[in-house]
Structure 1
Amino acid sequence: MEMTPSNLAMLCSAAHFLEMECDDDDGPAGTPNLKPQIEKFLDGIRFWTWSELLEALKLCQGLFSFKGYLEILDRIVDNLIERLASPGITSPNTCSSNRSSFQFSCATSSNNSWRNNCSGATWWFEHLLFLKIDLLDKVIRTMISYDFDHGVVSRFLFHYHNSSCLGAAQAEKMESTKVVIDLVLLLESRSISCKDLFNLNRSAVSLKMSRSCINKIESLIGPLLDQTTIDYLLLPSPHGKGQAYDVDFVLRLVHIFFFGGSFELTSNRLMRVAKMMDLFLVEVAPDPHLKPFEFEALITVLPDAARESHDQLYLAMDMYLKLSI
């Protein structure tokens, strides 16, 4: 049988189950060793088309359970990432390599060139949605090791998460969310969309993910609090709490913003957060279920120096006191 990218996975599986991967002394008498032939076939991987590479990767996902074949999966993943990182790759057509110079161009490209190229290259997002969650983890970590633009990786992760959760069972959604959270934590915070993080948080909350998972997302949102808008803070209160909005969630984010990171807190950043918090106060002040100690925590969480004006603060206090009297 001729070896092709489309039957590579089948041959690997057959070699594993028929014990055709051992030296003559280790395997059954007269059994040929297919593994060297498979590895030799992979020497020509740089000449595969993009479609052939994707097909091989899709079919070889099952090799995760065969320890002896993980290096074959590694070679396919590495080649895919090299092509995406190669300068001038803007479509599947330009990503298919039939030139012997392909490896040379990848090897001599600087990390900055890869970053600049990847920053606008999102055409491949739909092509990799077939990845199972364990292979997604491997692909993303490989991308990071190749110094891929973190903004592109971040956008792909959220796109993958949204797609993988459509019509999925509860357990699958939870697994996808957990892995995506852990992978996003590997990225530079400034490369992550605040909107995407809030959406991820909403998904995690609705799925009743563990407190540790929620904490991880909040640790990413907190430092970006000055980039968000009031709409994202108006998260419905957990069932049984009574309040309209989740006040504890907002207080945790503000605490992380002030004390949870090594980033610089400039006066402009402080004022943006202060304005947003005052808007939040005005939103929650009319809530008859908001407890006095919670309202007090909201009005005292910011230092006075962060506010340019106290007008919104006084308005919120007036609204709350009128309801309480």
Structure 2
Amino acid sequence: MKFMKLGSKPDAFQADGGGGDSRSSSRRYVLSDLPSDIVVHVDDARFYLHKFPLLSKSSLLQRLIVEASQGGADEVRVGGLPGGARAFEICAKFCYGMVVTLNPYNVVAARCAAEHLGMTEDVDKGNLVFKIEVFLNSGVFRSWKDSIIALQSTVALLPWSEDLRLVARCVDSIAAKATASPGSVVWSYTYNRKAASSDEIVEARRCSSSSPAVPRDWWVEDLCELDVELYKRVMVAVKSRADRVPSDVVGEALRAYAARWFPESCRRGDTPADEDDACAMEVLETIVWLLPSDGDGSSPCGCSCQFLLNLLKLAVLVGAGELLREELLDRIVLQLHEASVSDLLIPAKPPAQTTYDVELVEALVGRYIRRAGLDDIDGEDVFETNGEADDPSLLALCKLVDGYLAEVAADPNLPVSSFVGLATSMPESARPSHDALYTAIDVFLKMHPNLSKVEKRRISSLMDVKKLSKEASIHAAQNDRLPLRVVVQQKLKKSEKKHLANVDAHYTQDPKTTKQKKLPR
């Protein structure tokens, strides 16, 4: 951490009782042979000081002291001072030439207070504003972590820190470093995440060949300490340099920030408390707003489908608006086939009786199908070549849907219409095997024992027994939960296969060993 010492005289500021921390007392004074001739009120603190050192450095104190003297008073009040009594003490010590240490934690407050007090070059050469600017430019803004610390301190000093462009300068400093080439990173940073070797984001090494590689996302964790408004400003500045920051790195930054700031209840999938609800909503809106608009082929928006679906889960939990949910749906549908069953287990909100929001998943699948231009296809094998489906994405999505059906089928409150609606949302050509669908049907029938015969037939008719494997066929033939018609079909299918196999075996025998029966004349 950078620091700058100003002044050379010993620190003579004292609090009531002597020797104590002057910042903890409301009455502060300077040890001197000369008695105090002016009292300065700052917030609830009183400073017993001397006029001459103050008059030589501060234009505001010059005016206030002159006005007080004309009225015969020896007390002045400095109202609205940014940084309060602590910042004023730094400025007062500078006026006396006492040793004062500037660091990233207090420099912004000191800069705002010095501006308010008029401690500029017009009053005295080498005044406090000038000294602080030197420290900011030569120290704080050259340091990665010091820039972040200084930016965090600006929040309590608004609007002064904004008007003096201290916020903007901190943001620019941070964004410039975050978008620098990893090979030029020579400062310390926080990196505790474990990256798999295949997914590790590494671009360059330091100058020394023995130094460890610097990940492209080295800056992500340190920014997670910023509150949501500051984080938004920094990320906007980072994204504006899009030619230097790939979408996948921006996506990783958003994922890390979400993990840091989403309440624990939200990460567990529970409905958050009111105070957590507001926090989660603000973070969610910011992250969705910051999502990259482009990406590579494997991740069209720079974020994984799993991360986007987690955001959608949170949007459902906190009751996010329709526009935000639509934005997420539009992004998810681009890579829905990459999701897992657990990713799709989005809790249903009351008054829904089901455990999971099956209608939302059906809407996602329908959106995917429409985007692929399949909504007008009804059972045509347009995705098949020589009898085999040739669209890997569609096959993966159908496998996902069938796995999801098997999971939600265990919910006794899931209506037949929802199960059928989702099962029939996929084109027939995308389901070359019906084993997974049969598993889902079997679970549904088991968990809904009171279905009518009509409903059972409706559920079972989703399955094409001709597309079952040998193992699934054997199980289906012995399954007493299936309607009798389906079981009979399955047994007939087995019988037909056996008959064809016998015929085939008969006509493939060696003619020399086959006895020919003479036909009667």
Q: Counterparts of 1:227 and 1:184 in 2: how far apart (Å)?
A: 18
How many pairs are equivalent? 298
Shift of 1:152: 2.1
Q: Indicate how the Cα distance of structure 1 residues 300 and 51 shifts in structure 2: closer, same or farther if over 3 A, else same.
A: closer
2:370 pairs with 1:247: no
2:354–2:411 Cα contact (<8 Å) kept: yes
Q: Indicate how the Cα distance of structure 1 residues 51 and 279 shifts in structure 2: closer, same or farther if over 3 A, else same.
A: closer
Counterpart residue number, 1:201: 312
Q: Indicate how the Cα distance of structure 1 residues 248 and 134 shifts in structure 2: closer, same or farther if over 3 A, else same.
A: same
1:50–1:92 Cα contact (<8 Å) kept: yes
Q: Counterparts of 1:129 and 1:176 in 2: how far apart (Å)?
A: 12
The DSSP-based 3-state class of the residue aligned with 1:9 is helix
Counterpart residue number, 2:262: 165
The DSSP-based 3-state class of the residue aligned with 1:239 is coil
Q: Indicate how the Cα distance of structure 1 residues 131 and 220 shifts in structure 2: closer, same or farther if over 3 A, else same.
A: same
Shift of 1:319: 5.4
Counterpart residue number, 1:223: 334
Equivalent residue for 1:151, pick from 248, 261, 264: 248
User: Percent sequence identity over matched residues?
Assistant: 27
Equivalent residue for 2:179, pick from 67, 79, 85: 85
**Please, which runs of 5 or more residues in structure 1 have no aligned partner?**
25-29, 96-114
Q: How does 1:67-86 map to 2 (within 5 A)?
A: 67-70=162-165, 72-86=166-180
1:165–1:173 Cα contact (<8 Å) kept: yes
1:90–1:121 Cα contact (<8 Å) kept: no
Shift of 1:176: 1.4
Q: Indicate how the Cα distance of structure 1 residues 94 and 292 shifts in structure 2: closer, same or farther if over 3 A, else same.
A: closer
Q: How does 1:270-285 map to 2 (within 5 A)?
A: 270-285=394-409
Shift of 1:292: 2.9
Counterpart residue number, 2:153: 59
1:258-295 Cα shifts (integer Å, max 9, x gaps) = 33589xx9811011001111222233335442223222
- Cα RMSD over matched residues? 3.8
Deviates more, 1:118-127 or 1:292-301: 118-127
Amino acid at match of 2:345: L
Q: Indicate how the Cα distance of structure 1 residues 135 and 286 shifts in structure 2: closer, same or farther if over 3 A, else same.
A: closer
Amino acid at match of 2:173: N
The DSSP-based 3-state class of the residue aligned with 2:333 is helix
Counterpart residue number, 2:232: 137
Q: Counterparts of 1:64 and 1:185 in 2: how far apart (Å)?
A: 30
1:104-163 Cα shifts (integer Å, max 9, x gaps) = xxxxxxxxxxx9459923443332233121111111111111221222222222222222
Q: Indicate how the Cα distance of structure 1 residues 58 and 293 shifts in structure 2: closer, same or farther if over 3 A, else same.
A: same
Shift of 1:248: 0.9
1:167-220 Cα shifts (integer Å, max 9, x gaps) = 774322221122112112546334212222232233332223333333332322
1:6–1:55 Cα contact (<8 Å) kept: yes
Equivalent residue for 2:436, pick from 297, 308, 312: 312
**Please, which runs of 5 or more residues in structure 2 have no aligned partner?**
1-93, 95-99, 191-201, 205-212, 265-274, 374-382, 384-389, 453-521
2:287 pairs with 1:180: yes
TM-score (norm 1): 0.74
Equivalent residue for 1:124, pick from 219, 222, 239: 219
Q: Counterparts of 1:52 and 1:157 in 2: how far apart (Å)?
A: 22
Q: Counterparts of 1:246 and 1:260 in 2: how far apart (Å)?
A: 22
1:56-103 Cα shifts (integer Å, max 9, x gaps) = 222224566345233x322222222222332314563499xxxxxxxx
Counterpart residue number, 2:479: none
Larger relative helix fraction: 1
Q: Indicate how the Cα distance of structure 1 residues 92 and 258 shifts in structure 2: closer, same or farther if over 3 A, else same.
A: farther
Q: Indicate how the Cα distance of structure 1 residues 187 and 164 shifts in structure 2: closer, same or farther if over 3 A, else same.
A: farther
Shift of 1:9: 1.3
> Greater relative contact order (Cα 8 A, min sep 6): structure 1 or 2?
1
2:347–2:357 Cα contact (<8 Å) kept: yes
Amino acid at match of 1:247: V
Amino acid at match of 1:305: S
Equivalent residue for 2:321, pick from 203, 210, 215: 210
TM-score (norm 2): 0.49
Counterpart residue number, 2:97: none
1:164–1:173 Cα contact (<8 Å) kept: yes
Q: Counterparts of 2:167 and 2:139 in 1: how far apart (Å)?
A: 12
1:157–1:180 Cα contact (<8 Å) kept: yes
Larger relative strand fraction: 2
Deviates more, 1:5-14 or 1:310-319: 310-319
